[in-house]
Structure 1
Amino acid sequence: MSKTLVILNAKAGTIADLGAERVRAEVDAALTQPGRDVDVLLCEGAKMAEAIRGAAAQKYDTVIVGAGDGTVSYAASVLCGTDITLGVLPLGTMNLLAYDIGLPRDLPGALVALQGAEPMRIDLATLNDRAFHGVSGIGFFSQMALAREQGRKTSGRVFGWFVALGKAVMRSGRLRLDIEVDGKRVSLDAYAALVTNNCFDGADWHRSRLDAGVLEVHVAEERGAFARVKAGADLLVQSWRGNPGIHSFTAERITINAVHRDRAWVATDGEVTRETMPLRYEIRRDALTLLMPPGAVQWQGKHVPESAA
């Protein structure tokens, strides 16, 4: 008998709107299938992390996380290198991974997509040996994340983004970055660097591959406050590749060091942490099994686990 654990953030807006018991019943009914038991757990904070860590000991073969990118990233780091499959329900603010693989943003639609989902082995990136599924940035990008977090409860989504953009422009300063890309060193005066797990090469912040085995780093050269605003806008509409002040490289290993700085704020999958320099990024190929909906663009270059073949 297969076992699935569904961990839902009890503070998620969808749960607050629909009611905890209604959501629990909908999730249970949608995901329970012949030969598969489903346990649905509503919790928050440390309890969610504890449940994710304890999944292997409880003999679950699948863990589905209904929360934001930070919790999903934590789950990916815990399940990295194991045989446990990760599934995602988009109950957070950005839902980057869920959006990337084409999961509908509404709960009923996402549940239908998960019913037909199949496991795919995907890559994870690591920052100082800690795995993440999406993006990690310093400088301007970390200041944006900090400002968005501070204004989350007081501003609407669009207005809040513009407020955060203004704060990030004022707070972020020049960084002298030494960047080692697969052994080759580049030095730049920059105000930001962003490292991604595989390349966001599709329209509207999508990745065509999650198993290409590469990191991509974008370094925003320091050209003044106006350039920072333009870079932020370019990132929002995904036109940064045409920005002459943004330099992009692909590699399997990337090391970033900020000269004369021992530590820096780093935003990784929406969570901001204080990290010790240098920042060492690596790609881990086929590190995680992810439930992918049948229509996901990533199936075009699919890598199916042997156990699912």
Structure 2
Amino acid sequence: MLVVLNAEAGTVRDLGAARVRGEVEAALARVDMDVEVVVAAGKETAAAIDAAPHRGFDTLVVGAGDGTVSYAASVLAGTDIVLGVLPLGTMNLLAHDIGLPRDLAGALAALRRAEPVRVDLGTLNGRPFHGVSGLGFFSQMALAREQLRKKRGRIVGWLIALLRALVRSGRISLEIEIAGRREPIEAYAALVTVNAFDAQGLHRSHLDGGHLEVLVAEDRGALAKIRASADVLVGSWRGNPGIHTFTAERLTIHARRRRAWVATDGEVTRENLPLRYAIAPRALSLLVPPEGLRARADAGAPDAETLHGGPRIGPG
């Protein structure tokens, strides 16, 4: 097992790299497995992840935020190497979905009991990601958070980033293409998720449903934008008439511009349009604690019409 800890992750900075490394080594040590722990920053983090498949490791555990975890998932996609996650970043959406506690000791204890499960990934222009990808308001929010990450506290920085994103995100003329059919909409944001965030608290009940869900926030004015943005961020968007959702296995987002900022699992990149998304069913082997598996099963499957209905874009 190779454990890569991102020295720039929030928990590592807060507790100190030496302490985190010591707790990880003590918790994951096993007589039947060699465990190597690496603390890295910047390009060294990516290099350590890249090397894992070539060094003969069976398991790669990444202690970081969603962006670094997403990069590791892209490296291991389509292989039999198992990915484990330690939620040391800010949002930790994937760790939350599989039931990992937010504290380091609890997450390590859960990771010791975890079992490999095949889960879906999405792809953006051919590159895998594990959770969410968005443009418009969502990319502006991620850009603002990145700019404020080291200057403000997490809560204050998040609120300032929200205000900046609301001001900076303007109207975008989009066309959503599914199976050759293109639907135009004037929007200020679009978000693509790997399976539906269909449970309370921005949580996915299934990671192997085999579909993408798309949220398009229609531009209905400033007050509607504020309400819709808040609804998305707290996970209550399904009752908002200005937010349209639909599912697909493959879709393309067209716009009049040539390039756009896109936030994918918390990392912002400048992408050429159109944006081509697809689902990669069960492309990743992921360590999931038994209690996480039970929670997903107890949550139940989403309504069949929600998962398999056609696109519903525009008023009504």
| TM-score class normalised by the smaller sequence | over 0.9
Q: Could you give the per-residue CA deviations for residues 95-136 of structure 1, whole angstroms, max 9, x where no partner exists?
A: 111112111111111000001000000000000000000000
Range with bigger deviation, 73-82 or 166-175:
166-175
Range with bigger deviation, 7-16 or 246-255:
7-16
What amino acid sits opposite 1:95 in the alignment? N
Which of 261, 265, 270 is 2:266 aligned to?
A: 270
2:296 equivalent in structure 1: 298
Pairing 1:23–2:45 present:
no
- How many Å separate the matches in 2 of 1:245 and 1:301? 27
- How many Å separate the matches in 2 of 1:103 and 1:193? 28
Residue segments in structure 2 that go unaligned for 5+ positions in a row: 301-316
Tell me, yes or no, if the aligned pair for 1:178 and 1:258 is still in contact at 8 Å.
Answer: yes
Q: Could you give the per-residue CA deviations for residues 117-158 of structure 1, whole angstroms, max 9, x where no partner exists?
A: 000000000000000000000011111111111122233333
Which of 41, 44, 60 is 2:41 aligned to?
A: 44
What amino acid sits opposite 1:270 in the alignment? G
SS at match of 2:30: coil
Range with bigger deviation, 120-129 or 232-241:
232-241
- How many Å separate the matches in 2 of 1:180 and 1:238? 25
Matches within 5 A, 1:168-207: 168-207=165-204
- How many Å separate the matches in 1 of 2:142 and 2:10? 20
Which of 223, 226, 243 is 1:226 aligned to?
A: 223
- How many Å separate the matches in 1 of 2:260 and 2:270? 6
Q: Deviation at 1:301?
A: 9.2
- How many Å separate the matches in 1 of 2:16 and 2:263? 31
- Is the helix fraction higher in 1 or 2? 2
What amino acid sits opposite 1:48 in the alignment? T
The alignment's TM-score, normalised by the length of structure 1, stands at 0.93
Q: Deviation at 1:299?
A: 5.1
1:287 equivalent in structure 2: 283
Tell me, yes or no, if the aligned pair for 1:264 and 1:274 is still in contact at 8 Å.
Answer: yes
Residue segments in structure 1 that go unaligned for 5+ positions in a row: 303-309
- How many Å separate the matches in 1 of 2:10 and 2:158? 19
What amino acid sits opposite 2:190 in the alignment? A
Q: Deviation at 1:224?
A: 1.2
SS at match of 2:53: coil
Q: Deviation at 1:17?
A: 3.8
Range with bigger deviation, 65-74 or 225-234:
225-234
Relative distance call for 1:19 and 1:148 in structure 2 (3 A) is closer
Q: Deviation at 1:8?
A: 0.4
